[in-house]
Every structure is written in structure tokens, then in C-alpha cells.
Amino acid sequence: MATIKDIAKKAGVSITTVSRALNGYSDVNEDTRKKIVETAKILNYSPNSIARSLVMKKSKTIGLLVSGFIRENAKDNFMIEVMTGINDFASQTDYDIVLFTTNSSKQREKTYTQLCRERQVDGVIIQGIRTDDPYLEEVVEGEIPCVLVDIPRIGKHAGYVSTDNIAGAYEAGKYLTEAGHKEIAMINGHDYAFVSKERLEGFTRALLEEGIELPAQSIENGEFSEEGGEEAALRLLEKNSDLTAIFCSSDLMAIGAMNAIKSKGLRVPEDISIIGYDNILLSRYVQPSLTTIAQDTNALGYEAAKMLIAMLDQQKPPGNTIVKHELIVRNSSKKR
Amino acid sequence: MATIKDIAKKAGVSITTVSRALNGYSDVNEDTRKKIVETAKILNYSPNSIARSLVMKKSKTIGLLVSGFIRENAKDNFMIEVMTGINDFASQTDYDIVLFTTNSSKQREKTYTQLCRERQVDGVIIQGIRTDDPYLEEVVEGEIPCVLVDIPRIGKHAGYVSTDNIAGAYEAGKYLTEAGHKEIAMINGHDYAFVSKERLEGFTRALLEEGIELPAQSIENGEFSEEGGEEAALRLLEKNSDLTAIFCSSDLMAIGAMNAIKSKGLRVPEDISIIGYDNILLSRYVQPSLTTIAQDTNALGYEAAKMLIAMLDQQKPPGNTIVKHELIVRNSSKKR
DNA sequence: TTGAAAGCGCTAACAC
DNA sequence: GTGTTAGCGCTTTCAA
């Protein structure tokens, strides 16, 4: 593997000159530059970014920390869409993406900060970790530039990107009440997700404005999974046979809920209307197709990368970016 | 950021000793080691893997080169499942994964080899590139250890992981002929995919064994997309109104084909049976659910990572791993 | 069991 | 415009 030293020797110049010529500095004689570029080509030279990183103290990589990057979660293409968004932006820059995952026991021993410092990433985008994750605090308070996806925390070096979950859930609630529903329940994710808290807040508010209470017994957690949603729906149906609508904090849970309803011999949307959240791919394909709150997931990733790289390259302070959302009415819901 | 130099100074030893102690060499006095480990902790030391990489000439990273890692392709969760498989294996080792993508014009200027050399990845897993990709040859013939997913090429430093596409398509064909179908067509991907060639071969063979010809006009390309599949099906229907079965080289195209059939007022499977390939997530959810050839996609990634890392760590020669497949009969196909 | 010294490939003062 | 030199943080001979 050719190095600048080899080029220097062959071209009869110093390594400094080679470095300068190859990096496009202006103070190099045009003839010298030509010669250097030429010999670089002849020697099939590739710069060694590791060596450069070492001296520049910048690796030009950003870590992508995804919790639960595992098979089961592939169902939910939320994660992959965020990733493509990140990649869309990053590929326009000179940053590369390093994948970190936290499901392995090996990495559990290390804090995220350690992980990032060892791999020398310049910054990190964090996705899918729970609010009770012991290392979240450390990252938010830490020195490593970081952008959180869907976790509204700001620190000295930490910003976030999310959608307005309160507004989204509010619209879902408004939609249902305006459609004449009164016996309404909600399937939420779990208590350690910010989005769960926010969606509950927005939804409750919308109902309350119409004078409809959402008592604790009308809320069940479905852990964001299809099975969890199914079981949660079953419990809700058990408790209240007059239900006419269920709002689910994720499409996957909504699909589970639809299964539950069908298994009870009831129909969606004739007997019970269902609204999901996320607009995952599947939501268009299930029968009936799912009414849901769409998020621009790709933009979530894109904006996260944009913010992080702005922090890195232009010392921009971390902030928060809110990506738009939208109610998409399909066939799983109807007027009473 | 503390370095071994800092530790050496504080502990009153040389940097050599620190390096040895921290790397678990045996020839270090137990007391010295303890002291060093302790001061390392006090100084909140993290090793700098970049510096290590430079001197070791090993980056302990593997590149994941995915072509078309873009939004549209997220539909097909094939890619993401392969990725989780790769990650499953890699996370058990000390290798990290660096994401490369080739959709950006920037990177198009560089060959894969250049990309890999610059980023100093120890090896690379390549997924989703076409057989007419100008740089494929260079990688297969090159010096960088590499494992191809679904491209059966072996080189001095290149192996591959795939399923037996010929056998899979053969089973699909066998299934259809045994179900009594005679007027059969096929929707293939495109001419620059190995899997397309192989699936055509296997399928043709199965039909031929029952004395059924598959003339060129009964084969249309659908470019592996839902829309492409829909259009291909329309063309086939146009040409042969007696069709009773269509085999599609991907589930996505099969879903497109079902749309086409429905739009023509025909029913699946009553009028026309459909078989797909891949067993993507969607195939279970569409109506009717799709009969398909399942591949263990996760294993594809897992085995790719396993092979590559064996090549890297144990100098194992590259080989080929065949991952199992399986016909899954659902509701899009029936006996004549 | 420990340390001094060289060097991985590169960049960046600084001097000429 | 160009070269000399030092040094990024680490590993690894070699010698003590």
C-alpha cells in the first residue's frame, strides 16, 4: 500500500509537499502538483484515513446507536427508515456511519460514552433507547456531541429530533370525537417511552375538550408489539363491551388490536374504529387498511444527521427539530 | 482525554508497561498491574482505537456495502434482515460495522476498493449490487477480503453466501405442476441479478420435467418492484388469458401481480395462483396471504459475517455458504 | 519485569 | 514554494 512517503520519494519532493498537493493547498507549484498527482495515480495511492484521524483528532465518523437492532424489530420499519434518512444526509458529507448496537451483553458492560470514545466517533445519533436506560443521562450530560431521536432532552452537547407527539395524538383524539365516538380506549406503549407519555397527554386533552374522560382502566400498555397490542385489546374489550374506538400508540399494536377484535367476532371499523401511530409500511397493506398518524420518519433521520453534523462542522449549538406529522384516514375508522 | 502517557506519568512507570498491563500481558508484575489499572480508572481512560489501528494495521471494522440503501427499498425488509444478521454475529466479536452506500453520486466516483482502502476496513460484505456493476469484478479479484450476499462468485479473497435459488424455484415449479397447473407464467426481476438467472433455471427445469414449456413470451421482468410486478402481470394477462398461475421472483412483484389480477376483475387464487419469493414481512399480511419461498435472510447476514471474520481472524480461505430455503404455502395458491 | 526508542501514515508549525 | 521537524497515541522490538 503506497503512502505519501513513497510518492515523495518517487516524485523527488518532501512528504509535506505531497500532503499539501494532495489536499489541494494553494501554495504548491502547479508543475509540482501535477507531478505528484500523477505519481500518486501510478502508485495507486489511497490516503489512510486512520492516520489522518489520529493527527487531526477527528475521525469523521458518526456513531449510530440503535437499541434493539434485532430481528423482531425489523417488522417495524421505523428504524430502517430513520437510518436511511441519516444516510441520505451523511452521504452528502464526508462523514461515515458506524453502527453500534446495545443488545449484546458484551457492550452492555460498557457505557455508551465509553463505546463512543473508544471508537473515536465525532458524534452520535441515538435511537430507540428507553427513558429508564441507565446510560441516557450520561450521554445527555456528556461531552460527546449527540442527537437523540424521539427523546426530548437537551444538554450542552445534546439535541434532539422528534415529531410533535402531543399534537399528533391530539388530532387522533379530535378525529374520533368529531366522528361521534364516546366510548374510547387507548393502547399505549410502555411507561419508559417519551412518546407514550406525550401521546397519552395529547389524546387525553382532545377527549377532555369534548367532555370525555379517559379513566386509567381504559388505558392498557401493549409494549409496542403486535402481540402486546392484541392482548391489551382483549383486556380492554373485557372491561368495556361498549367500546367503539381504540387509539393505539403504534401501528403494530393497532394491527394486534384488530386481530383481537376480529377474534371476538367484532368488525373493524363497523363495530370498533382503530387508529394507529407511525404509518409503518404494513399499515397500508393490512385489511382494513389502518387510519394512522404518519410521521416523516425519513426526515427524522435526515434532520438528526443534519443537526449533528452542523454541531460538528460549524459548532452550531444543539437544538431541537420538530418534524411534521399528519393524520391519514384509511379504512379502519368510521363515523358513529 | 487521558492517554497511556498520562497513566504512565501518574503511576510512575513507562508507557510500555502501561500498554502491556492494560492489554493483559503476563510479564507484568501483579502489583504494577494493579496500580496501572487503578490509575487508568481514576483518569477515566479509554483506549484510542484509532492509534491502535494505525500501528496494528488493522481497523477491526468491516464495511457493509449496500447498494440502494434508500427509502424506496425499505419496503423490502430483506436488506434490513441481512443487516441484523450481520450485526448479530459481529456484535459477538470485536469488529464494528461501517455503513457504506453507493447511491450517492459522490461515492460513485470512487470504486468500492478505493472506498474500502480509504476507510481502512479489514473486510467488506457486499449486498444488493448488480452483476453488471462495473466495480464488482474489481472487488472479487481484489485484495480486500470480501463476502458477497447472493452473488455466487469466488475469488482469492472473495466468498459468498446465498440460498439455493435453483432448488427454491424448482420447488415452486414442482408445487404448481403437482397442483395441476399447466398455463404458467413467470415474472422475473431483471437480467442483471444472479438470483433471477437461477430462479429462471430452476423453475424452467421443474416445468420441463412435467413436459411444460416456458416460452420467452411467458416471462416478463418486473425489476423487483411492486409497480414493475403489476405491469409485468398486466402484460402477461394480455398475452395469455388462459393463465392459471404466475411465479414471481420476489414477493414485492407478487404483490404487484395480485393487484393487477384484481384490477382485471380476476381472483387470487380462484382464477390465478400466485407464488412469490423471499417471504418478506408483507407476504403474511397481504390479502390473500402469499405462498412463497422463504429464505432465512437473517442467517444470510449472520453467515456472511461469520465467513468474513473467519477469513480475517483465522486466515480461513473464502468459500460459499448455502442457507436453507423453504416453500411456505399460504392462501394465494390452490389446486386446479 | 521493565524501559528506551523506533515507527505506523499523516498534518502542521516553522524556517528557509 | 518547499523542506525539516515534531508529534498524534499506540505497539513492539531490543536491551537492560
pLDDT tens-digit profile of A184-224? 999 999 998 889 999 999 999 999 999 999 999 999 999 99
Task: Categorize the per-residue pLDDT at A72 as very low, low, confident or very high, splitting at 50, 70 and 90.
Answer: low
Residue A123 lies in a domain: yes
Q: Are residues A276 and A239 in the same domain?
A: yes
Q: Check the CA dihedral A187-A189-A193-A195 and report its sign.
A: negative
Q: What is the pLDDT of residue A104?
A: 44
A47: closest CA of chain B, how far (Å): 6
Residue A70 pLDDT more than 60? no
pLDDT of residue B79: 83
The mean pLDDT of chain A is: 92
Do both A256 and A205 map to the same domain? Answer: yes
In this prediction, residues B65-85 reach a mean pLDDT of 74
Which window residues (203-262, chain B) lie with Cβ within 7 Å of strand D? none
Q: How far is Cα B336 from Cα B328, in angstroms, rounded to an integer?
A: 18
Is the pLDDT score of A68 beyond 80?
no
Mark whether A49 and A98 lie in a shared domain: no
Into how many domains does chain A fold?
Answer: 3
From CA B333, how far away is CA B331, in angstroms rounded?
6
**What is the pTM (predicted TM-score) of this model?**
0.91
Question: Would you call B265 helix, strand, or coil by DSSP?
Answer: coil
Cβ distance of A64 and B99 shorter than 8 Å = yes
Parallel, antiparallel or unpaired: strands A219-221 and A184-188: parallel
Closest CA to A297 of A265, A234, A250, A253: A250
Query: Do B176 and B265 belong to one domain?
Result: yes
- Same structural domain, A129 and A194: no
Distance CA(A224)–CA(A220), nearest Å, equals 11
Mean pLDDT of A152-175: 96
Tell me: do A174 and A289 sit in the same domain: yes
Interface size between A and B, measured as CB pairs under 8 A: 121
Give CA–CA dist A324/A326, Å, rounded.
Answer: 7
Helix, strand, coil shares of chain A, percent, nearest 5, are 45, 15, 35
Arithmetic mean of pLDDT, A114-131: 90
pLDDT at residue A107, as a whole number:
47
Partner residue opposite B77 with nearest CB, options A77, A91, A104:
A77
Q: What is the rounded average pLDDT of the residues A49-73?
A: 85
Residues B99 and A87 sit within 8 Å (Cβ to Cβ): yes
- Whether B142 is in a domain gets the answer yes
pLDDT band at A75 (very low <50, low <70, confident <90, very high): low
The SS3 assignment for B109 reads coil
Answer for the pair B162, B322: CB distance below 8 angstroms, yes or no: yes
Distance separating alpha carbons of residues B21 and B34, to the nearest angstrom = 9
Residues A267 and A217 reside in one and the same domain: yes
Gap between the Cα atoms of B276 and B333, Å rounded? 10
Query: Which domain covers residue A279, as residue numbers?
Result: 165-295
Please indicate, yes or no, whether residues A158 and A302 belong to a single structural domain of this protein.
yes
Domain contains B331? no
The mean per-residue pLDDT over the stretch B14-22 comes to 95
- In angstroms, the CA A30 to CA A16 distance is 15
User: In sequence order, which ranges of chain B are alpha helices (DSSP H)?
Assistant: 4-11, 15-22, 30-42, 49-56, 78-90, 105-108, 112-119, 136-141, 165-178, 194-209, 226-239, 251-263, 281-285, 297-314
Q: Is residue B267 domain-shared with residue B304, that is, in the same domain? A: no
Neighbouring-strand partners of residue B246: B185, B274
Could you give the CA distance from residue A22 to residue A49 in angstroms, rounded to a whole number? 13
DSSP A110: S
Between B53, B75, B114, which is nearest A46 by CB?
Answer: B114
Tell me the DSSP string of A168-201: HHHHHHHHHHHTT--SEEEEE--TT-HHHHHHHH
User: What phi, psi does A235 have (nearest 5°)?
Assistant: -65, -40
DSSP, collapsed to helix, strand or coil, labels residue B185 as: strand
State residue B121's pLDDT score.
96
Kindly give, in sequence order, each residue whose CB lies less than 8 Å from that of residue A265, ignoring residues fewer than 6 positions away. none
Cα of B228 to nearest chain A Cα, Å: 18
C-alpha count within 13 angstroms, C-beta hemisphere, residue B158:
20
Q: What is the CATH number of the domain that holds B255?
A: 3.40.50.2300
Looking at the predicted structure, is the pLDDT value of residue A100 above 90? Answer: no
Read off the pLDDT band of B66 (50, 70, 90): confident
B104, pLDDT greater than 60: no
C-alpha distance from A288 to closest chain B C-alpha (Å): 10
Domain contains B332: no
A335 is a domain residue = no
Q: Which residues of B touch A91 (CB under 8 A)?
A: 101, 103-104, 106-107
**A259 torsion bin: left (phi>0), alpha (psi -120 to 50), beta (else):** alpha
CA atoms within 13 A on the CB side of A279: 17
Residues A271 and A255 occupy one common structural domain: yes
For residue B58, which residues of chain A lie inside 8 Å, CB to CB?
none
- Same structural domain, A279 and A130: no
Under the banding of pLDDT at 50, 70 and 90, the label for residue B71 is: low
Residue B237 lies inside a defined structural domain of this protein: yes
Q: Which chain A residues are within 8 Å of B305, Cβ to Cβ?
A: none
Supply the CATH number for residue A32's domain.
1.10.260.40
Task: Give residue B25's pLDDT.
Answer: 86
pLDDT > 70? residue B198: yes
Strand D nucleotides within 7 Å of a protein CB: 1-5, 7-13
A216 found inside a domain: yes
Residues A182 and A268 in one domain: yes
Q: What are phi and psi of B56, to 5 degrees?
A: -80, -15
| Nine cell digits for residue B24 | 493483559
B169 assigned to some structural domain: yes
Confidence of residue B72 (pLDDT cuts 50, 70, 90): low
